[in-house]
C-alpha cells in the first residue's frame, strides 16, 4: 500500500505543471465543443491519448498486463476517472463559463479527502481536515449561489453535473491507489484510457452518431492539446504524484487550476464571472489550504520564533 506523504518540492513543481496543463484544457475543450458534441469530444480525448500512451509503452518495451483483475481495474478506473467526469463536465461547459467549471473542479480535493478517509487508514479525517472540508463545501455553495438552487434550470443542472464529475474523480483517486499500486504509470494510464475508450465508443455513437474527421483546424488543435498534452502526458504526472503524495494530497492540484482557466476564458472567449463565484472560489481555497495544513504550520512556526 502507498503510504501518505507530505508534498515535496518536486511534487509541488509537478502539481504546478499539471495545473498549467489542465487549466488550458478547459479552454481547449470548450473550443472543440463549438463543432462537436460533448460525448464525441470525450471519445476523441480518450482514443488519441490511448494511442499515444500505448506507443510510449511499446518504445519503453513494457509488458502488457495479462491479468484479468488488472484489466478489470483499468475498466473501472476508466469509468471513474474519464467517462463519468469528462462527459459531465463537457456537457456542463456548454452552459456555464470555462472559469466557473474550473472552480467547481477544485472541489475534487474536498471529495478526495472524504473518500480517502473512508478507504485508507493513513488518510484519516482529522479535526483540521473536517474544518477544511466544511469551509470548502461552503465555498462550492457560494459559487453555485442560492438563486441557482431556487430557480432550477439548465444552468443549475450544468453546475451540479460538474460537481458530480468531481466526486467521480475523488473515487478514481482512491481506486487507483488501492488497485493499481505497482503498475508502471505508462501502463496504468494506457490501460485506463483503453477501458474508457471501450465504454465511450458505443456510448458516443449511440447518442451523437458516428464521429467525423472533417473538422476545422481550430477543433483539431484543441483536440490535440486536450488529448495528447492534457491527457496522455498529464496522466503520467498524475500517477507519479499519486505515488509520492497519496490520493488526498493529489487532489490539491485542482486548487491551482482555476486562475489559469479563468484567465484564458476571459482573454480568448471574453467570459466573465460574477462576484459571488470569485468569493466562492476564495472560500474554497481557504478550505483547501486548511486541509493541506502546511501554510498554517509555517505561520505558527514564524510566530513562535
Residues 6 or more apart whose Cβ sits within 8 Å of residue 225: 24, 25, 28
* CA–CA gap between residue 167 and residue 165 (Å, rounded): 5
pLDDT at 186: 92
Of 87, 89, 12, give the one whose Cα is nearest residue 294.
Answer: 12
pLDDT at 275: 85
φ/ψ (deg, to 5) at 107: -70, -5
Contact 160, 34 (CB under 8 A): no
pLDDT at 68: 92
Domain ranges for the chain, please list them.
Answer: 9-304
pLDDT at 3: 41
Mean pLDDT by 10 residues, the chain (305 residues): 56 82 93 97 97 95 92 96 96 92 85 83 79 85 71 80 92 87 88 96 97 95 96 83 67 77 88 86 84 61 49
**Per-residue DSSP letters for the chain?**
-PPP-PPPHHHHHHHHHHHHHHHHHHHHHHHHTTTS-HHHHHHHHHHHHHHHHHHHHHHTTPPPP--HHHHHHHHHHHIIIIIHHHHHHHHHHTTS-HHHHHHHHTTHHHHHHHHHHHH-GGG---HHHHHHHHHHHHHHHHHH-HHHHHS--HHHHHHHHHHHHHHHHHHHHHHHHHH-TTS-HHHHHHHHHHHHHHHHHHHHHHHH-S--S---HHHHHHHHIIIIIIIIIHHHHHHHHHHHHHHHHHTTHHHHHHHHHHHHHHHHH-----HHHHHHHHHHHHHHHHHH-HHHHHHHHHHH-
The three three-digit cell numbers of residue 183, written as one number: 503498475
Q: Within its chain, how far is the Cα of 74 from the centroid?
A: 17
* CA–CA gap between residue 43 and residue 51 (Å, rounded): 12
pLDDT at 295: 58
pLDDT at 183: 87
pLDDT at 7: 64
φ/ψ (deg, to 5) at 218: -65, -40
Contact 105, 167 (CB under 8 A): no
pLDDT at 196: 97
Amino acid at each position: 500500500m502507498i503510504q501518505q506523504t507530505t508534498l515535496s518540492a518536486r511534487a509541488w513543481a509537478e502539481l504546478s505543471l499539471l495545473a498549467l496543463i489542465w487549466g488550458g484544457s478547459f479552454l481547449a475543450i470548450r473550443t472543440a465543443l463549438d463543432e462537436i458534441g460533448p460525448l464525441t469530444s470525450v471519445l476523441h480525448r480518450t482514443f488519441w491519448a490511448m494511442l499515444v500512451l500505448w506507443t510510449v509503452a511499446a518504445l519503453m518495451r513494457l509488458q502488457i498486463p495479462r491479468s484479468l483483475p488488472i484489466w478489470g481495474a483499468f475498466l473501472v478506473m476508466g469509468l471513474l476517472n474519464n467517462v463519468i467526469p469528462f462527459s459531465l463536465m463537457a456537457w456542463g461547459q456548454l452552459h456555464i463559463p470555462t472559469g466557473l467549471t474550473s472552480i467547481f473542479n477544485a472541489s475534487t480535493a474536498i471529495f478526495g479527502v472524504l473518500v480517502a478517509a473512508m478507504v485508507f487508514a493513513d488518510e484519516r479525517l482529522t479535526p483540521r481536515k473536517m474544518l477544511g472540508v466544511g469551509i470548502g463545501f461552503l465555498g462550492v455553495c457560494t459559487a453555485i449561489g442560492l438563486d441557482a438552487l431556487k430557480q432550477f434550470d439548465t444552468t443549475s443542472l450544468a453546475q451540479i453535473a460538474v460537481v458530480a464529475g468531481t466526486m467521480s474523480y475523488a473515487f478514481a483517486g482512491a481506486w487507483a491507489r488501492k488497485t493499481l499500486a505497482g503498475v508502471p504509470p505508462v501502463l496504468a494510464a494506457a490501460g485506463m484510457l483503453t477501458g474508457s475508450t471501450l465504454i465511450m465508443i458505443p456510448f458516443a455513437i449511440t447518442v451523437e452518431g458516428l464521429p467525423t474527421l472533417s473538422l476545422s483546424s481550430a477543433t483539431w488543435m484543441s483536440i490535440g492539446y486536450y488529448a495528447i498534452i492534457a491527457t496522455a502526458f498529464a496522466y503520467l504526472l498524475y500517477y507519479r504524484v499519486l505515488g509520492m503524495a497519496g490520493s488526498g494530497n493529489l487532489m490539491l492540484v485542482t486548487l491551482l487550476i482555476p486562475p489559469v482557466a479563468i484567465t484564458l476564458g476571459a482573454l480568448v472567449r471574453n467570459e466573465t464571472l460574477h462576484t459571488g463565484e470569485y468569493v466562492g472560489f476564495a472560500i474554497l481555497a481557504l478550505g483547501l489550504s486548511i486541509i493541506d495544513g502546511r501554510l498554517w504550520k509555517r505561520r505558527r512556526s514564524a510566530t513562535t520564533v
